Structure 1
Amino acid sequence: MGDYAELPGVRTWYETDGTSGEPLLLLHGGFCTNDTWGAQRADLAAAYRVFLPERRAHGHTPDVEGPLTYQAMAEDTVAFLERVVGEPAHLVGWSDGGIVALLVAAARPDLVRKAVVIGATFRPAAECWAEPGMLDAMTPDSADLAFFREMYEAVTPDGAGHWPAAAAKTLDMWRGQPTLTAEDLAAVRAPTLVMVGDDDMMTLEHTSALYRSLADARLAVVPGASHLVPLEQPGSVNRMILDHLAQDTVETMMPVRRAAGESGNAAAA
């Protein structure tokens, strides 16, 4: 079951799962709905109070006037944390949701306990996608987006005919956003697990740069996985998420980047 939260920026649809534990937000990817978290919900809800907001122009949440931006979606998420959750939460974001999680963690560290970002970027597609030409082939009516179009049309309050406009906004956003720097990422103080498939849409070099720019980070490159790693290997992904959220410190036998302590990661990078 779900409900709407009347937020300043947009009337936001959200669902909840689990009845006890610390709050945890699941932030879906671009073009997606909460259905894509189906392989994670039960495992995470067994230990946490899970909140699943659908962002503007996605799923049951309507589009709003103007372009789609990560900054606006991050502001919506901050408002959701303040008005619906009411306390700091863990953020688990996949793809676009991971970008939103990073922006929220950088701007409002008081609202973020720990973070997990899966297949996330901090620069526009041309600078981080393994095959930037993929974006040129994507159009609202292309076969590549048929699955997402059907998912959107089934639940959007804007009507199926709004898909071309909503899809075009997302594609435009990917071309020019996000535009974060290493200095911006260094503002993220929450312990963060950076996860990526070894054959992800995002280059491993870009993911490594993201990991190295964060002050307190762990890196997981999942073998035999693509950008859809939460669907392909849910057992491994869920275990890594739960382990990260439960672990207070990282202790290894031969630390290098962590030799000066977790707080020294950014400087060591």
Structure 2
Amino acid sequence: MAEYVQVGAVRTWYDVHGDGDPFVLLHGGMVDARWFEPNLGALAERFRVYTPDLRSHGHTPDVEGPITFHLMADDTIGFIERVVGGPTDLGGHSVGAFVSLLVAMRRPDLVKRLVLMSCGFSKEGETVPDAPWDVDMIVQYLGPAYAEVSPDGAEHFRVVATKIGELAAKEPHLTPAELARVAHRTLLMVADDDIVTLPHLVQMYGAMPNAELAVVPGTSHFMTQEKPELVNALLLDFLGRDPVPTVAPIRRAQPDGED
């Protein structure tokens, strides 16, 4: 059911998988919706999964100007309003996760539950925050997949990789106080050997009042491909049921009238 929709200045490509309650799932930087191929079969059995390609990624053409998290959040808000038509579960991986977080902060009415995979909230949380951005290596490694589907052609990937490098040099930069205002029930999922440090994720978990934390053992930033069955099980457990009343809660708020 893949098709395009005009969202502002961006001709956004998206696909839809399955039936059920909506779940919008956003890929990371310099890849596209195919990133979630190992996960879509299981998710589509329970949900209607929307997988748009972000601006300048995959089938979605580039547009003039920089790529920023706030512009991608604008795009996603427009996509939810135009295509989904109302509140949805929202999640993503890496860049797509931070975009999802911004959408939840700016338009909480459009988000039911939030899934953030391999996502920090500031540059300080990155494992190697000052790593050089090697465009040549990125083009060599990720360029062939881009060339398979991009309407802009293989040579344009260098432009996109440069724009993402400019974004990565400055963002993200939220604070724990800003995270504390995100009231949505949120799953934070991270690999135990990710580009985001575990102490940073624990800080993020502590700042978000309704967060749940999952660490996928024996994986890297590619955990959705490395252990898809485990990732899928965690996603379906979170999205498929209400929170379990724990026996000995410490950080979790209790409803009024309960001990």
**TM-score, length-normalised on structure 2?**
0.94
Match of 1:3 in 2: 3
CA distance in 1, matches of 2:59, 2:212: 33
| Pairwise CA RMSD | 1.5
* Residue 151 (structure 2) pairs with residue 163 (structure 1): no
Give the counterpart letter for 1:10 in structure 2.
V
- Write out per-residue CA displacement over residues 118-160 of structure 1, whole angstroms, 9 at most, x where no aligned residue: 1002113xx1221234x30x32211x55231111122111121
Give the counterpart letter for 1:242 in structure 2.
L
Match of 2:129 in 1: 132
CA distance in 2, matches of 1:187, 1:13: 32
* Residue 254 (structure 2) pairs with residue 261 (structure 1): yes
Match of 2:200 in 1: 206
Q: Secondary structure at the match of 1:162?
A: helix
CA distance in 1, matches of 2:223, 2:129: 20
Match of 2:47 in 1: 48
- Runs of 4 or more off by more than 6 Å in structure 1? none
Q: Secondary structure at the match of 2:38?
A: coil
Give the counterpart letter for 1:255 in structure 2.
P
Match of 2:144 in 1: 150
Listed as ranges, the matches of 1:32-47 within 5 Å are: 32-47=31-46
- Write out per-residue CA displacement over residues 97-126 of structure 1, whole angstroms, 9 at most, x where no aligned residue: 1101110111111111111111002113xx
User: Contact 2:22–2:89 at 8 Å: present in 1 too?
Assistant: yes
Give the counterpart letter for 2:37 in structure 1.
G
Q: Secondary structure at the match of 1:72?
A: helix
User: Contact 2:139–2:158 at 8 Å: present in 1 too?
Assistant: no
**TM-score, length-normalised on structure 1?**
0.91
* Residue 11 (structure 2) pairs with residue 17 (structure 1): no
Give the counterpart letter for 2:254 in structure 1.
G
Match of 1:64 in 2: 63
Q: CA deviation at 1:89?
A: 0.8
CA distance in 2, matches of 1:58, 1:213: 31
Q: CA deviation at 1:189?
A: 1.8
C-alpha distance 97-182 of structure 1, shift in aligned 2 (>3 A): same
User: Contact 1:102–1:185 at 8 Å: present in 2 too?
Assistant: no
Q: 1:230 aligns with which of 220, 224, 231?
A: 224
Which segments of 5 or more consecutive residues in structure 2 lack a partner in the other structure?
none
Match of 1:185 in 2: 179
* Range that drifts further, 154-163 or 31-40: 154-163
C-alpha distance 4-68 of structure 1, shift in aligned 2 (>3 A): same
Q: CA deviation at 1:210?
A: 1.4
User: Contact 1:114–1:191 at 8 Å: present in 2 too?
Assistant: yes
C-alpha distance 262-218 of structure 1, shift in aligned 2 (>3 A): farther
* Residue 94 (structure 2) pairs with residue 95 (structure 1): yes
Which segments of 5 or more consecutive residues in structure 1 lack a partner in the other structure?
264-269
Match of 1:141 in 2: 136
Q: Secondary structure at the match of 1:38?
A: helix
- Write out per-residue CA displacement over residues 23-75 of structure 1, whole angstroms, 9 at most, x where no aligned residue: 00110011111111011101000000110010111001111111110010011
User: Contact 2:90–2:111 at 8 Å: present in 1 too?
Assistant: yes
- Write out per-residue CA displacement over residues 165-216 of structure 1, whole angstroms, 9 at most, x where no aligned residue: 1100101111101211112222222110000011111111111111112121
Give the counterpart letter for 2:134 in structure 1.
T
CA distance in 1, matches of 2:198, 2:14: 32
Q: How many residues align?
A: 256
* Residue 71 (structure 2) pairs with residue 77 (structure 1): no
Q: Secondary structure at the match of 1:196?
A: strand
Q: CA deviation at 1:262?
A: 8.0
User: Contact 2:183–2:210 at 8 Å: present in 1 too?
Assistant: yes
Q: Secondary structure at the match of 2:166?
A: helix
